[in-house]
Structure formats: structure tokens, C-alpha cells
Amino acid sequence: MKKANVTTGILAMGIIALTVTSCKDKKKEQESQEGEHTEQMEDSGHMDGTMEDHSQMDHDNMNHDEMAMMSSEVIADYLTLKNALVSDDKDGAATAGEKLEGSLKDFDTSKFSDEQQAELTDIIEDATEHAEHIAKSDIGHQREHFDILSKDVIDLLAITGSERTLYQAYCPMYNNNKGAQWLSATEEIKNPYYGSKMMTCGSVQKQIN
């Protein structure tokens, strides 16, 4: 009887040992599977992150195009003003200045970064003030305000970009040889600061795309 009890005990211990070993093996297998699953999740997350990056890049590119589109009305009104000054047309310049004032006030800066919004706000406020003066001044003062207005528009385009090709020109003689810049849709020099007096005074500094 004692021998049977001993045998039974040995068998029971063997079963327990096998069960423990089996549980350990299953635990290891489960941990291994979980590790592989985690790695797969991490890889998947990395891929998703990459896709998000590309998506963000596409979004940024789209915003850049939108930015250029948003400045197009300002540029169109600015060029109309420039052409009026080239033609010595005070009334045409006044009308264009008033229209430019409106397009500057309507310019939406909300899609730009906080830093860009701050810069654009300063530029637009200054440009709007000069456009207002152009709408109410004689042609001599119109040209003085156009000088600073041109700098503002050039600064604006440095942030927004331009939908159309523009040419930045420079007249070295204006304002007692201090010089002045302007933007044109063509490479041909037609000076808005002197008009018919010195129509071709100046040169193209650079092309803006």
C-alpha cells in the first residue's frame, strides 16, 4: 500500500512538473508573440508617421499655392497703380490706390504661421496707409508713397510667393540718387517714378517666380 502511495506521489509530482514546464513554455511563446506584435505595431506606427509627414508636406504645399493665390489680387492692383504712374495718370493712380487699399484690407492672414501673421500684419498696415495717401495725393506725392509701398509689396511676396512671374526693377536716380524699387510684369523698363521724363531709367534686379 505504501509503495502504491509513493508511486502515485511520484506521478503527481511528474504531472505538476510537466504542467509547470508547459505553462512556462506557453508563457515564453506568448511573450515572444506579443514582442513580435509590438514590433509590428511600432513598424506600422512608423509607417503611419511617415505617411502623416508626407500628408503634412502635401498640405504645406497646398497652403503655399493658396498663399500665392491670396496675394494675386494685391499684385494685380499694385501693377495697375504702377502702370498709371508710368503714364503720368494721377487720377488713374488715385483710383488704383483706392482699389489696392481695399484688397490689402481684405487680405486674409489666418492660414499663415503666427510669426508670418505678425510680419504680414505690419506690412499690410503700412502698405494700406501708403495706398490711402496715393488715393488722395498729387502725382509727386503719389510717387513718394509708391516708393515705400513697393518695398512693402516686395516684403509681402517674400512670404507669400507669387502666382505669376514678376520682375523687380530699380531706379538709381530717384529720391536724390537714393534709388527706388518697383515690380513689373515684364522685363521692359517703364519707370513709374519719372514716367515720360525718363521712361527707361533703371534696370531689372531679379526675377520673382
Arithmetic mean of pLDDT, 75-101? 98
Positive or negative CA dihedral for 148, 152, 155, 161? negative
pLDDT digits (tens, 9 = 90+) for 10-48: 444 444 444 444 444 444 444 445 444 444 444 444 444
Strands of the sheet with 180-184, listed across from one edge: 180-184, 166-171, 203-208
Q: Where are the domains of the chain?
A: 71-208
Q: Give the per-residue pLDDT at 21.
A: 44
Least confident of 51-65, 73-87, 101-115: 51-65
Number of helices (H) and strands (E), helices first, in the chain? 6, 3
Which residue is it, cell 510667393?
161
The answer to whether 179 and 169 have CB atoms below 8 angstroms apart is no
**Closest residue by Cα to residue 183 from 44, 74, 93:** 74
pLDDT digits (tens, 9 = 90+) for 157-205: 999 999 999 999 999 999 999 999 999 999 999 999 999 999 999 999 9
**Rounded-to-integer distance, Cα 12 and Cα 125, Å:** 91
pLDDT digits (tens, 9 = 90+) for 127-161: 999 999 999 999 999 999 999 999 999 999 999 99
Q: String of b and e for 1-19 (b: at least 16 CB within 10 Å)?
A: eeeeeeeeeeeeeeeeeee
